[in-house]
Amino acid sequence: MKIGLDFDGVIHNSAKLKSRVCEDLYGKQLPLENCDATKLNGVISLEHYRELQETVASSEKYAKFMEAIPEAIETIKKLIADGHNVSVVTARINNKLNIARTWLKEQGVEILFEGVGQDRSKKEKCEECDVYIDDTAKLLEDLNVKHKFLFSWPYNTDKEGFNRVNNWSEFYEEINKIGGTK
């Protein structure tokens, strides 16, 4: 199967890094449930959130603090070993894309990265995917992918109508249910 993965919030724990960088830049705590532009609830302004996103994704200074979502790296390696064609489809482009690709390579995973740009549809890049997982419900809505999964976080619990997974073990189980190996 062809499996597409979002990067931030699915492979990389961007919410944790956003919280750290928010404290560094603005001296404010950004709880997990507020790590989405639609859920800021006055913690920081939308302008500051956009600056925060940019800093987290593009700063070499903060790249060294990037962490994987638990089990992400191991599960991606298992999916590849099972014969699946796995790629990343992300909003990141240019230097941000290179930072993500380099970081994942340092974790021992070399796969195709497709960047679409911030707030842009992933529809075209996911056309051939059998499965796609993202942490942003809005980006899943317009995809013509047979099996779409929403990676659950406190900031997306209000989104309904999606197949949810809470962790990478659950995602791997779902892959095995719908098609197992290649």
Q: So where are the chain's domains?
A: 2-13+67-178, 14-63
Q: How far is CA 118 from CA 8, 97, 121, 148, 167, in A?
A: 12, 11, 9, 20, 25
- Residue bearing tokens 């073990």: 169
C-beta separation of 116 from 106 below 8 A: no
**pTM of the model as a whole:** 0.92
- Residue range 104-154, pLDDT digits in tens: 999 999 999 999 988 788 989 999 999 999 999 988 998 999 999 999 999
Q: What is the pLDDT of residues 9-53, one digit of tens each?
A: 999 999 999 999 999 999 999 988 888 888 888 899 999 999 999
| Residues 2 and 89 sit within 8 Å (Cβ to Cβ) | no
| Residue 27 vs residues 19, 24, 48: alpha-carbon distances, Å | 10, 6, 12
32: helix, strand or coil: helix
Identify the CATH class of 2-13+67-178: alpha beta
pLDDT at residue 119, rounded to an integer: 78
Question: Tens digits of per-residue pLDDT, 46-95?
Answer: 999 999 999 999 999 999 999 999 999 999 999 999 999 999 999 999 99
